[in-house]
Amino acid sequence: MPPVHASTASSAFEASYPALVRFLARRTGNAEDARDLAHDTWLRLATGRAPDDGVRHAPAYVFGAAQNLAIDHQRRGQHRAELVDAAALLVPTHTQDIADQLAHRQALQAVERALQALPERTRSVFLAHRLEGTGHDALAAQFGVSRSAIERDVQRAHTQVQLAMERWHGTPHAPQRRRGLGALLGVLGLASAGPLLWGVWQQQVLQWQQALATRRGQQLQQTWPDGSTLALDADTAVQARFYGARRQVALLRGAVFFAVAHDAQRPFTVQAGDTLVTVLGTRFSVERDGATVRVAVESGRVQVEPHPGATAILLGAGESLSLGPQGLQRGTAKQVAPWRNGWLSFERTPLSQVAERLNRYRNQAIQVDGAVAALPVSGEIRIAQADEWLRLLPRVLPVQVLRHEPGTVQLVAR
């Protein structure tokens, strides 16, 4: 591929920014990291020096640069994860060597000095964003600057913290220091570090994690250490990671109803594909069905970011939002997660999606022919009586119900 001029690449970056952020979000699994890496990509392109040719390759050049940054980010993240996860698990059982204690204190102090050396606004923005969970838009309004300026401040401070951690972690004596990591977060180590650094460090430490999954036809109730409870529908999988300053859940598939314990110091987020749902304390459901995500609120309020970089949508009690190939559809939620009571509710839902939903509970799959896949279905179905619903379906839709061995059901045009 011919080299690309920096100005050409910057123009390509601007044209492909939304797609680039989505690409990075898929690579990193984190919308916030995706936006940070997109900004890093812009900086690299803006300061690059390349011959003025290869214009037609500019988009590929931009995505290639972003991918390289994402790979570097993941490598750094692995190093940082080793460090902070060990800190959450290790408990010192004996007094560490005095030289180790001194080294740990020096590492903490180096990070604190890096933060203190930042401009006041940059430091304040970083702490408000990382420790208090304040969003970029709110910070831009608070400081009277653009969102891009806030993003640059967060990235600059984040880079300084990360470099300070890596300098300590990457020294020739790192293995020895890692063995003494308990002392790093022990009373002596923390006493020598200021509250600023302890707040940043605490925000990075993984305190608790859990992965949950249900089989076809199985539902599950679970209570988490923060007091939040959740109900998993059939064929559902989630991963939860709680840190000192945030609670993160990834919905991999299926549907979950959350009753979130209020904790203003630790926002609760649910990532379902590109969609990010943020709450402090409320009752709501999130369903991920292929490329479609549905959010419904029973009480309280949630903030939904359809994809990285999109304007957030606020939902209150009784409201719902569906996002997918069909676009964005906002509506009312008469019932939230009715599957908890053995029912499924549909409002002009394509027959193919209804069948996929029922298949979470059935050993014998329902197959839908393409000719009838888009037929709209409205009403309620009792999960335990799905076969009866299938028997009556030809009365309301122009379909035939064909039953094959070993029990597969096929819906075709009549």
CATH number of the domain that 275 lies in?
Answer: 2.60.120.1440
What pLDDT was estimated at residue 347? Answer: 87
Structure token digits, residue 206:
């993984």
What pLDDT was estimated at residue 177? Answer: 40
Structure token digits, residue 235:
């064929």
Distance CA 125, CA 140 (A): 9
Question: Are residues 25 and 148 both part of a single domain?
Answer: yes
What pLDDT was estimated at residue 359? Answer: 92
**Of 332, 360, 378, which marks where a domain is finished?**
332
Query: Are 310 and 276 within 8 A, CB to CB?
Result: no
**Which amino acid is located at 371 in the chain?**
A
What pLDDT was estimated at residue 362? Answer: 87
What pLDDT was estimated at residue 7? Answer: 55
Query: Are 177 and 143 within 8 A, CB to CB?
Result: no
Distance CA 150, CA 122 (A): 8
Distance CA 214, CA 218 (A): 6
**Of 161, 188, 203, which marks where a domain is finished?**
203
Question: Are residues 193 and 104 both part of a single domain?
Answer: yes
Question: Are residues 58 and 86 both part of a single domain?
Answer: yes
Question: Are residues 225 and 321 both part of a single domain?
Answer: yes
Would 337 be classed as within a structural domain? no
Would 303 be classed as within a structural domain? yes
For residue 162, the Cα-to-chain-centroid distance in whole angstroms is 21
What strand order describes the sheet that includes 399-403?
Answer: 366-368, 409-413, 399-403
Would 298 be classed as within a structural domain? yes
Would 189 be classed as within a structural domain? yes
Domain residues for the domain of 383 are 342-413
How many domains does the chain divide into? 3
Find the largest Cα–Cα distance for the chain: 82
Question: Are residues 377 and 243 both part of a single domain?
Answer: no
Question: Are residues 164 and 236 both part of a single domain?
Answer: no
What pLDDT was estimated at residue 358? Answer: 94
Question: Are residues 55 and 112 both part of a single domain?
Answer: yes
Would 328 be classed as within a structural domain? yes
CB-based contacts of 177, cutoff 8 Å, min separation 6 = 100, 103, 104, 107, 168, 169, 171, 184
What pLDDT was estimated at residue 178? Answer: 39
Question: Are residues 62 and 178 both part of a single domain?
Answer: yes
**Of 162, 185, 203, which marks where a domain is finished?**
203
Mean pLDDT by 10 residues, the chain (414 residues): 53 76 78 74 61 57 82 63 43 44 59 79 81 76 90 85 65 40 38 52 72 92 94 95 88 96 90 91 92 94 90 94 90 91 91 93 90 94 92 94 83 93
Burial of 279 per CB tally in 10 Å (0-12, 13-18, 19+): buried
Full-model pTM: 0.56
**Which amino acid is located at 370 in the chain?**
G
Would 299 be classed as within a structural domain? yes
Using CA of residue 172, residue 173, residue 179, residue 181, what is the dihedral sign? negative
3-state secondary structure of 168: helix
Distance CA 240, CA 408 (A): 35
Question: Are residues 294 and 380 both part of a single domain?
Answer: no
Burial of 213 per CB tally in 10 Å (0-12, 13-18, 19+): middle
Would 66 be classed as within a structural domain? yes
Question: Are residues 244 and 290 both part of a single domain?
Answer: yes
CB-based contacts of 46, cutoff 8 Å, min separation 6 = 6, 10
Long-range pairs for 12-20: beta carbons < 8 A, 24 or more residues apart: 12/58, 12/59, 12/61, 12/62, 13/41, 13/42, 13/45, 13/62, 15/59, 16/59, 16/62, 16/63, 17/309, 18/307, 18/309, 20/62, 20/63, 20/66
What pLDDT was estimated at residue 95? Answer: 41
Question: Are residues 135 and 11 both part of a single domain?
Answer: yes
Domain CATH code at residue 360: 3.55.50.30
Question: Are residues 327 and 224 both part of a single domain?
Answer: yes
Would 1 be classed as within a structural domain? no
